A = this chain, B = another copy of it.
Amino acid sequence: MSSQDPRTADLGFARVDLERAARTGDPEVVYGAGKTPDQVVAILRTLHDRHHERAVLATRLTPDALDAVGRALPEAAIDPMARAATLGPLPTPTGTVAVVAAGTSDAPVAAEAALTVAVHGAAVDRIDDVGVAGLHRLLAVRDRLEAADCLVVVAGMEGALPSVVGGLTGVPLVAVPTSVGYGASLGGVAALLAMLNSCAPGITVVNIDNGYGAGVHAARVARRAAPR
């Protein structure tokens, strides 16, 4: 597999897959963890050069990488809360994903999920601060939950929110445990285990803090949902 392979671009420090969209219908994504700001900029630019017509997403960016992208690629959209950036036009959304978060500390993960949904072609409805210790706030948004084609439910600590939401509605639901907590939260493992053991049927789970993965799944579900 030489650098002449038209399906990849060899940047020296990385070989960029140029045909994921063809294979899965999803946009290209740069996982920023462990990459220098310059590397992030270079990969974003390369992917964008090949596909001006659709957005590229970069996630898990350090503050330095966010700065570098903002300076080098002024047309990029920076999302500091999501620690992410996009380059190129977002697709016209099909279907809607409601991104539900338990507390303010879960906001970065929820923001990553929401941006991922938008880049992957679905509309987003953000519902924040509806933790289970204040049920009235959650019950007040029940119709927005029902109106979505897929739900992403983000929670740390005891991870109870997906169970409560899953008891209120039959919309497909992806739960995202966050590393918010301390002591016996074990870096998010407590919330992860709780979500895997939910008594509400049909809840599926992604890795701790993996807003991106939840967003990809939810957007795929929403995109293929029939209009109602």
Contact = CB atoms under 8 A, between A and B. Distances in A.
Nearest to A103: B199
Interface in A148-190: 149-150, 157-160, 163-164, 166-174, 177, 179-190
Interface string A10-32: 00011101000001111001000
A103 to B, nearest CB: 7
Given A220-B172, A226-B226, A167 B207 contact: no
Contact of A197 (B17, B135, B157, B200): B157
A217 interface: yes
A118 interface: no
A203 B197 contact: no
Interface in A183-228: 183-210, 212-214, 216-217, 220-221, 224-227
A181 to B, nearest CB: 5
A34 interface: yes
A217 to B, nearest CB: 4
A95 to B, nearest CB: 9
6 contacts: A17-B134, A33-B182, A131-B199, A183-B188, A183-B209, A204-B214
Interface of A: 1, 13-15, 17, 23-26, 29, 33-34, 102-105, 128-135, 137, 139-141, 149-150, 157-160, 163-164, 166-174, 177, 179-210, 212-214, 216-217, 220-221, 224-227
Closest 3 CB pairs of A and B: A183-B208, A24-B170, A133-B167
